[in-house]
Amino acid sequence: MTLLSIKELSKTFRTPSGPVHAVREVSFAVNQGECLAIVGESGSGKTTLAHMILGVLARTSGELSFDEQPLPDKRTMANRQSIQLVQQNPLSSLNPKRTIGASVRLGLDTYQIGDKSARWKTVGAALDAVGLEPSLGKRVPATLSGGQRQRVGIARALACNPRLLVLDEPTSALDVLVQARILQLLNTLRRERGLTYIFITHDLAVVRNVADRVAVFQSGQLVELNSTDAIFTDPQSTYTRQLIGAVPVVDDTELALRNKLVGNQ
């Protein structure tokens, strides 16, 4: 079943030096329960696309629909609750003075999820779901490690009970072992909760561990979309072949460890 459908979506930024065609007539669909990776070099339009899906950036043209309903540029509360973002650097989006618990609770207050007395319980459950001690909710972001902060970013999104998570480079700022644990957590959460992911990354090693399908972007255009296996074993476009060729060679021990941690033997 299709959860999100995108048709001929475009975004052009008007700049003093002329128009920038950041996303050009992109069409694809995301199935309920799948993890679709979006890959492409820096500047290929990945974040712009994510922002249009989230409704934080208005499209120039094209159509978006979610659960067979058109998604307007001005989103309803229900639209916003259903599609949540997990960012690369959660510290920049967490108020340094606010406790972790209060930050996770914000979405619940915004979308009026549950009655007020139940919200702290939901916050505790969300922290627990991402492997954080509930007592950590009383601390401020600066006292957390990078991995813990990324877990908070995921907890914040989860607390809103979304159906689609847009993850924009969620592990790019983390070292390889912490990254592997976060990927493992994301895989588990998707399976247990039937979530759907759009996973944006420039790291093809990550893609192999999380994605069912891969969409390859170049200069704002979708150049290839296929199963993860096919992208790696039978890439159709020259650009995809180049991207795969550019994957850094990790040594066998590191690769085995990473695969073991994310549950892929």
Pairwise CA distance, residues 120 & 192, whole Å: 22
Q: How far is the CB of 23 from Mg ion (least distance, A)?
A: 12
Please report, as ranges, the residues that interact with ligand ADP according to CB under 6 A.
Answer: 13, 15, 20, 22, 40, 42-48
Closer residue to Mg ion (CB): 47 or 218: 47
Query: Which residues are within 8 A (CB) of 64 and not within 5 positions of it... i.e. 6 or more apart?
Result: 4, 5, 6, 7, 9, 52, 53, 70, 71
What is the separation, in whole angstroms, between the first and last Cα of the chain? 29
Closer residue to ligand ADP (CB): 211 or 262: 211
Closer residue to Mg ion (CB): 148 or 201: 201
Residues 154/183, Cβ–Cβ less than 8 Å: no
**β 61-66/2-15 pair status:** antiparallel
Q: Residue 197 carries which side chain, given as an amino acid letter?
A: Y
Q: How far is the CB of 11 from ligand ADP (least distance, A)?
A: 8
Residues 189/129, Cβ–Cβ less than 8 Å: yes
Closer residue to ligand ADP (CB): 23 or 158: 23
Q: How far is the CB of 21 from ligand ADP (least distance, A)?
A: 8
- If one counts every other C-beta atom within 10 angstroms of the C-beta of residue 74, the result is 8
* One residue of 10, 44, 47, 228 binding Mg ion per CB under 5 A: 47
Q: Which residue is nearest to Mg ion (CB)?
A: 47
Q: How far is the CB of 259 from ligand ADP (least distance, A)?
A: 27
Does 88 participate in binding Mg ion (rule CB under 5 A)? no
Q: How far is the CB of 68 from Mg ion (least distance, A)?
A: 29
Closer residue to ligand ADP (CB): 43 or 146: 43
Q: Residue 86 carries which side chain, given as an amino acid letter?
A: V
Site residues (vs Mg ion, CB under 5 A)? 46-47
